[in-house]
């Protein structure tokens, strides 16, 4: 049983022969099964693009509050726009009353959305709500759009690895994620100016909601921790040019609970390291097509037993989660 988050080079999966692909998928599956998290290298995302997205994001968060508030999130169930410091508390999803998280964020949803009924009719709900773009910095929009596409492509690879790890056909998920309702949320954790309130964290303990999360984090004091199966909080390693990958509650439900969505949190920097502790995270939450059925996958329900969860859809599952974390 893995008690720490492993680092896995997934480069050989690309164009690999079936045995190579299965071997990598098995390693990925083991990490997800044991601890719900892994760190991947060899992901194929252009490091130059990542650096530009980070720079544009820092420029946005450096703007005055008044300017950032021009793209304020319009409503709790519209996952677009700017969310100020302490305006949300992800720890509340666990039913505990904790103060607002010490991060501010900017969030977008799908890009390149066709002008058809599937995307804009009543069944689509708010999953394809238009994005809210800040005027500054001017390059942010094109960079975020390109990055969103890159994350969608990487998520396809990861879902193919998941499929093989679950003994399904490699393309099992392909037609269920080709209109994914994912979100890119860029979080800025400022260097704290005052001590945190009792129980207040950079991000409270929570599990993610969706199929998988792809996180580009920075190696700064006050980072990400994961609760392992021994109930210990362990730091997630940051390898050069890597992504942190984890699953959310939708994938746990899809696997009938065989895979678990692990609790994680972002802790405060120690007082003596506050000066260099500003931290930026690019967080991509992947969710399948809103109409993708989410019922126990083949092979996940033991003979003679009933599934652990009622069937749902990706869209309904996500909608039900959004309003739980508002302060
Ligand atoms: O910033 C991080 O390291 C993690 C953020 C996170 O867990 C989330 O946005 O769900
Ligand atoms: Fe998270």
Q: At what angle do helices 140-165 and 18-35 cross, to 10 degrees?
A: 100
Structure ipTM: 0.99
Residue 266 CA to its chain's centroid (Å): 14
**pLDDT of res. 92:** 86
Ligand 1 pocket residues where CB is under 6 Å: 185, 187, 203, 208, 215, 217, 224, 264, 266, 281, 283
What DSSP letter does each residue of 164-186 carry, written as one string? HHTTS-TTTTGGGSTT---EEEE
Are the beta carbons of 179 and 119 closer than 8 angstroms?
A: yes
Report phi then psi at 102, rounded to 5: -90, 55
Give nearest CA residue, ligand 1 atom 10. Answer: 208
Termini Cα distance of the chain: 37
Under DSSP, the state recorded for 325 is G
pLDDT digits (tens), the chain, 327 positions: 999 999 999 999 999 999 999 999 999 999 999 999 999 999 999 999 999 999 999 999 999 999 999 999 999 889 999 999 999 999 888 888 899 999 999 999 999 999 999 999 999 999 999 999 999 999 999 999 999 999 999 999 999 999 999 999 999 999 999 999 999 999 999 999 999 999 999 999 999 999 999 999 999 999 999 999 999 999 999 999 999 999 999 999 999 999 999 999 999 999 999 999 999 999 999 999 999 999 999 999 999 999 999 999 999 999 888 756 554
Q: Which ligand is nearest to the CA of 202?
A: 1
Under DSSP, the state recorded for 191 is P
Report phi then psi at 74, rounded to 5: -70, -30
Locate the ligand 1 atom nearest the alpha carbon of residue 189 and give its number. 1
Determine if residue 34 is left, alpha or beta; phi over 0 gives left, psi from -120 to 50 gives alpha, anything else beta: alpha
Locate the ligand 1 atom nearest the alpha carbon of residue 185 and give its number. 9
What three-state secondary structure class fits 257?
coil
Is 7-324 a domain of CATH 1.10.150.120? no
Q: Which ligand is nearest to the CA of 222?
A: 1
Q: Environment class of residue 148 by beta-carbon count within 10 Å: exposed (0-12), middle (13-18) or buried (19+)?
A: buried
Are the beta carbons of 213 and 250 closer than 8 angstroms?
A: no
| Angstrom distance (rounded) from CA 107 to CA 81 | 5
């Amino acid at each position: 049983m893995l008690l720490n988050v492993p680092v896995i080079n997934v480069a050989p999966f690309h164009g690999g022969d079936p045995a190579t692909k299965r071997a990598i998928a098995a390693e990925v599956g083991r990490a997800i099964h044991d601890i719900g998290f892994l760190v991947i290298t060899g992901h194929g995302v252009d490091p130059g693009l990542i650096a530009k997205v980070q720079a544009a994001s820092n420029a946005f968060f450096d703007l005055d509050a008044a300017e950032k508030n021009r793209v304020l999130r319009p409503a709790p169930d519209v996952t677009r726009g700017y969310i100020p410091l302490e305006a949300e508390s992800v720890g509340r999803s666990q039913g505990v009353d904790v103060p607002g998280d010490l991060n501010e964020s900017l969030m977008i949803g799908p890009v390149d959305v066709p002008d058809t009924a599937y995307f804009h009719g009543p069944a689509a709900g708010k999953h394809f709500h238009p994005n809210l773009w800040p005027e500054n910095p001017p390059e942010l929009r094109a960079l975020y759009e390109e990055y969103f596409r890159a994350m969608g492509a990487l998520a396809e690879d990861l879902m193919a690895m998941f499929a093989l790890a679950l003994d399904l056909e490699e393309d099992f998920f392909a037609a269920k994620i080709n209109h994914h309702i994912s979100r890119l949320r860029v979080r800025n954790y400022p260097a704290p100016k005052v001590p945190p309130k009792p129980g207040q964290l950079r991000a409270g303990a929570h599990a993610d909601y969706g199929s998988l999360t792809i996180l580009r984090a920075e190696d700064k004091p006050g980072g990400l921790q994961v609760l392992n199966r021994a109930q210990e909080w362990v730091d997630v390693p940051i390898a050069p040019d890597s992504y942190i990958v984890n699953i959310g509650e939708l994938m746990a439900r899809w696997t009938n609970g065989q895979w678990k969505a692990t609790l994680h949190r972002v802790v405060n920097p120690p007082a003596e390291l506050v000066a260099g502790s500003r931290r930026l995270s690019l967080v991509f939450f992947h969710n399948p097509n809103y109409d993708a059925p989410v019922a126990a996958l083949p092979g996940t329900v033991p003979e003679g037993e009933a599934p652990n969860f009622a069937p749902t859809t990706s869209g309904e599952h996500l909608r039900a989660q959004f309003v739980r974390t508002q302060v």
